[in-house]
Structure 1
Amino acid sequence: MALSSGRVRDLCEDDLLAILRKYLPSASGVVVPSGDDSAVLPVPDGRVAVSTDMLVEDVHFRRGWSSGEDVGWRAAMQNLADAVAMGAVPISLVVSLELPGDLPVVWVEGLARGMAAACALCGTGVDGGDLVGGNKVAISVTVLGALEGRDPVLRSAARSGEPLIHAGVLGRAAAGMALLGHGYARRRAAFLDEESLAIDDFLRPKPPLRQALAACRDGAIGAFMDVSDGLLRDARRMAQASGVWLDIESTRLADSIHPLIGIGRRMGMADPWQWALETALSGGEDHGFLGTLRVHAERAWGLNTPTLPDGFTRIGTVREAHDGGLVTVDGREIALTGGWDHFGGA
């Protein structure tokens, strides 16, 4: 019997590992690949950025909505973004899986293919991990990122007067999740409608990894972080860490808000414009990047205006120092709603 034609319960751990290894890449220059007690990797400058994230079935994804490829892509991509948010190049992922016995093996193959496709964007390997049986699919991914001799970029580095900048989409994933909840499905066609594009952005987030890394390498970035839990929630974390007041200008979010208005209208929202604004400000799971431009505002927007890093737009300004941090929209403080939080706090 071909291994991929059965169920997970029909295979032993070595069989499953053989299937996964068939698809998953190794890090460049890996010393000891998957298969021993630990993988051994070369580190160019001796400093590694490390982050771990999890995806749990029926908490972060539903198999009725997501294919194995979708889940593998998303599991890899959210961790790649965490490394890049520190200015580090993702060199390897360590992946542990909990798999129920009745899970089709072809779904596991799809997960590996999706993960490999995401890793290919950065040349990242998958080197080591663990497999356990369980009642639902759960995926734990640890990313190792090389800083290449640079200092890490931190969310605590925002300075008064700096422009607030963002790369990626805002509100698209939240809109896609809302559409799925309203019974919409992603179309498979050469040209996707706005609904299908939003659903795809939820199922397969597309953080601008290369542009973010390029900006960090060029020294253009002051403070920096991944936006995974919603713009307002993550901006507040940056403001608190830096002790500053961040002011977001709603007019600068027009390109993000405009396509969401039509989606809100088609879902029957009472005020599609207000829904679109709130979704752009508070929707999570986009995995874009929020940062500050390392130049004072008076020089940034005067006669010698510098070019923003590729892929970034200005969305506001670091106004001034503020004990405890403050985030406003058009100068007004807004109650924190929406976004993603497992436990209800910030």
Structure 2
Amino acid sequence: MSVAKAGEFGLIARITARLPAGQSTLLGPGDDAAVVRAADGRVVASTDVLVEGRHFRRDWCTAQDVGHRAAAANLADIAAMGATPTALLVGLCVPTNLDARWAEELSDGLGAEAALVGAAVVGGDMSGSPTLTIAVTALGDLGGLAPVVRTGARPGDVVAMCGRLGYAAAGYTVLSRGFRTPKVLVDAYRRPEVPYSAGPEAAGLGATAMIDVSDGLLADIGHVAKGSGVAVDLRRDAFEVPRQMRDAAHALGVDPYTWVLAGGEDHALVATFPPGLALPPRWRVVGVVREGSGVTVDGRPFRGPTGWQHF
């Protein structure tokens, strides 16, 4: 059944019936607006848009994959502020001939990714459109902590990361060349594994700045450097390049460090911390903050792309 045959309200009913409530949901879908608990008294909010052909392809990803990716892109932004995600609002613009089951399975992916952090889809909007577009707004709770912003890095701080880098970019390259393996890389592109809990953890440890890697490490840590008025130097040997990535890079004629340093969409968290702080094992020190400006790798500018540019 197409979405046109299902009808707007029929499709909404089919989608909302599949969405579980979250821990902070006081009133979910079905009214003019949702009501979400904000125990901290402050709400962290972020919005991201995914456009078919630009951010995803239906021949590469299932509807559930797209739902996971759309939710992760927003939930990671909340975590990067040191907050815990609480709710998602979804705007869905679809071609009228789209199979209604695709929209239902998209909602399954959105709901499943949100459930990983105890959040839920609490509402949204829907419209017909010639281009399939998904706009997601995420809300979060700071839990009494100060937000960790991009502008707080100081000379002498260490740069540390939590999560994976390069996997999604490698998976994208593999898919764009017409292949479907290595599976670990393709799956990383389809469904990122985001270390959501590391965001509030970093805030509690005293992180001075933090960002999620959505556009590429060099580009994103560059936002921290510019906002903080400092320089950042990364160590190339601090980053692991797994065997599958090395093998794929060799087969495709790509420098794997281009994926690691400039590839996005893994949504690893990168933060700066005061020197001498004992960090949990999952946080890997990968560089240092210095006086100056810009981002270098082993003391030199990186030769090659530094990240994704939308325009």
Distance (whole Å) between structure 2 residues aligned to residue 310 and residue 148 of structure 1 = 24
8 A contact 1:257–1:276 mirrored in 2: no
User: Aligned residue for 1:96?
Assistant: 91
Superposition map of 1:104-253 within 5 A: 104-185=99-180, 195-216=182-203, 218-253=204-239
TM-score by length of 1: 0.86
8 A contact 2:232–2:288 mirrored in 1: yes
Q: 1:76 aligns with which of 68, 71, 81?
A: 71
8 A contact 1:169–1:256 mirrored in 2: no
Deviations 1:199-242, CA, capped at 9 Å, x for gaps: 111111111112333232x3342210111000100111110011
8 A contact 1:220–1:309 mirrored in 2: no
User: Aligned residue for 1:260?
Assistant: 245
Distance (whole Å) between structure 2 residues aligned to residue 76 and residue 284 of structure 1 = 15
TM-score by length of 2: 0.95
One-letter code aligned to 1:121: L
Q: 1:110 to 1:117 in 2, by over 3 A?
A: same
CA drift at 1:257 = 6.1
8 A contact 2:232–2:294 mirrored in 1: yes
Say whether residues 1:48 and 2:43 are aligned partners: yes
Q: 1:286 aligns with which of 256, 266, 279?
A: 266
Name the count of aligned residue pairs.
311
CA drift at 1:8 = 1.0
Say whether residues 1:337 and 2:299 are aligned partners: no
Distance (whole Å) between structure 2 residues aligned to residue 61 and residue 232 of structure 1 = 23
Deviations 1:111-136, CA, capped at 9 Å, x for gaps: 11111110111010111110101112
Deviations 1:257-290, CA, capped at 9 Å, x for gaps: 65422111222x1xx5xx1112211111111111
8 A contact 1:25–1:124 mirrored in 2: no
CA drift at 1:25 = 2.4
Distance (whole Å) between structure 2 residues aligned to residue 256 and residue 23 of structure 1 = 39
CA drift at 1:334 = 2.3
**Root-mean-square deviation (CA), in Å?**
1.5
Distance (whole Å) between structure 2 residues aligned to residue 112 and residue 58 of structure 1 = 19
Deviations 1:86-140, CA, capped at 9 Å, x for gaps: 0111101010101111111221121111111101110101111101011121100
Distance (whole Å) between structure 2 residues aligned to residue 223 and residue 29 of structure 1 = 27
8 A contact 1:167–1:212 mirrored in 2: no
User: Aligned residue for 1:311?
Assistant: 282
Q: 1:265 to 1:151 in 2, by over 3 A?
A: same
8 A contact 1:215–1:309 mirrored in 2: no
Say whether residues 1:277 and 2:264 are aligned partners: no
One-letter code aligned to 2:251: R
Q: Which moved more, 1:255-264 or 1:220-229?
A: 255-264
> Percent sequence identity over matched residues?
39
Distance (whole Å) between structure 2 residues aligned to residue 249 and residue 33 of structure 1 = 46
User: Which of 1 and 2 has greater Rg?
Assistant: 1
Deviations 1:63-95, CA, capped at 9 Å, x for gaps: 111110000011111110000100111101010
One-letter code aligned to 1:313: R
Distance (whole Å) between structure 1 residues aligned to residue 149 and residue 132 of structure 2 = 33
Deviations 1:280-323, CA, capped at 9 Å, x for gaps: 11111111111112x22xx35xxxxx2x234211111112x22x
One-letter code aligned to 2:308: W
One-letter code aligned to 2:297: V
Distance (whole Å) between structure 1 residues aligned to residue 104 and residue 282 of structure 2 = 33
5+ residue gaps, structure 1: 1-5, 187-194, 301-305
One-letter code aligned to 1:329: V
Distance (whole Å) between structure 1 residues aligned to residue 43 and residue 82 of structure 2 = 11
CA drift at 1:147 = 0.8
8 A contact 1:91–1:146 mirrored in 2: yes
8 A contact 2:42–2:141 mirrored in 1: yes
CA drift at 1:338 = 4.7
SS in 2 for 1:317: strand
8 A contact 2:84–2:197 mirrored in 1: no
CA drift at 1:333 = 1.7
